[in-house]
Amino acid sequence: MWDDRDVKTKGDELSGVRIDFVVGGGIAAIEGPRTIRELRRFGAEVRPVFSPHASQFISALTYEWASKEKPLLELSGSAEHLSRADLVVVAPATLDLLAKSSLGLADSAASTLIQSVLGRKPVFFVPSMHESLRESPSYLEHREKLSRLKNVFFVDGKNEEGKWKNAEPIEFAQRLIHLYRRSKLLNPKRVLITVGGTRAALDDVRYLGNHSSGRTGFKIAEAFYRRGHEVEIFVGSVEEALPVFSESENFRYKRVRTIGEMSASLKETKAPDVFVHAAAVLDFEPEVISEQKLRSVEPWSLKLKPTPKLMDQISWPQTLTIGFKLESRQSAESMQRIVREWAKLHAVDYVVANSLENVRPDSYQAAIYSANSDQFEEVRSREALASALVEISERLTKI
């Protein structure tokens, strides 16, 4: 039976992970319930822990609703303040809490709990305070001291209206998951992903282009990032907005509009451990580009020439390569034949086979072809595809 406090699952990256969520005495405490629910969407079990002044900004009942756990409010003989969680989040991390954490003070359930885990388990501080406090010598000193400890992370938000505010809950959850999972990996991988369509100029203002929302490529990038890997994406023309955590820890992107820009970027980059070529690259481009804008009242004939295949321009022998092949109106047998031939021609390890009829904004179906085993595996959502590609990559590159 559905409980009003339940959340819809988005992933399993925090499945079975226990989090103690320490709430500082600042106005940013009002963001905590949304953040907790976002963490729960990835499987986390979250217990709120109130600092003495937190209840001046928000009620413990609100945090109990968000977490389905009674908040720890004060020290007691049951020693609940000795954390048994897998990680601790301090949000908002006020100057008071940071100073106490740095100096080893333990005068409340919240500060004592932090001391019980520092140096032993991951602790994520989320500073939130006025800009003048963040620039104070005390803040800088305490942050620098805490940063030297093992398993201590600072997750900075945004500077607006003269205040350092918490990151949005979705962004924060993704970044925390990345940092936590990365701390558990012995050998994190560098993953390069191409996303979106490319363009070819026709004249000074017009262009030929491929339609691409970028939705699937971004799902794949997010999945690799949440698993703790370093992700770089080359982004062509897309309809979807970039992930909210773009350009955060170990996540970078570069805009590449044309085939030439994408080709040059691939040649310049260091060989990744995993290459996912999900971009919808033009197969044809004009033989001649007009040097000025052509008048719209005159007839216009175009002669197109095939574009070079980007998969054939890279030489990364140790890289696991995953390509995409989109067709339309093909039978299952014909589609499999086309994919097998394409994989062999371009020497890719895996191919994601798409039929245009099965690619929709609200639905998705594809098959993953393994060139090594000559097998096809069906997936029925973008999330399932992303998860499968991450699992394949981690298995084959010995994470």
Examine the pLDDT at 382 and tell me if it is beyond 90. Answer: yes
Residue spans of the domains in the chain: they are 18-184, 190-396
Residue 399 has a pLDDT of 56
Whether 123 contacts 151, CB under 8 Å? yes
| Confidence class for position 163, pLDDT limits 50, 70, 90 | confident
Domains 18-184 and 190-396 are alike in CATH topology: yes
Question: Distance between CA atoms of 349 and 319, rounded to whole angstroms?
Answer: 9
Q: How confident is the model at residue 366 (pLDDT cuts 50, 70, 90)?
A: very high
Q: Work out the number of other CB atoms within 10 angstroms of the CB of residue 393.
A: 24
Task: Please state, rounded to an integer, the average pLDDT across all residues of the chain.
Answer: 92
- pLDDT-based confidence at 275, cuts 50/70/90? very high
Q: Mean of the pLDDT values across residues 14-31?
A: 96
Q: Which residues have CB under 8 Å from 138's CB, separation 6+?
A: 95, 99
The pLDDT confidence band at residue 79, using thresholds 50, 70 and 90, is: confident
Fold held by 18-184: Rossmann fold (3.40.50)
CATH superfamily name and code, 190-396: CoaB-like (3.40.50.10300)
pTM: 0.91
Amino acid, single-letter form, for residue 180: Y
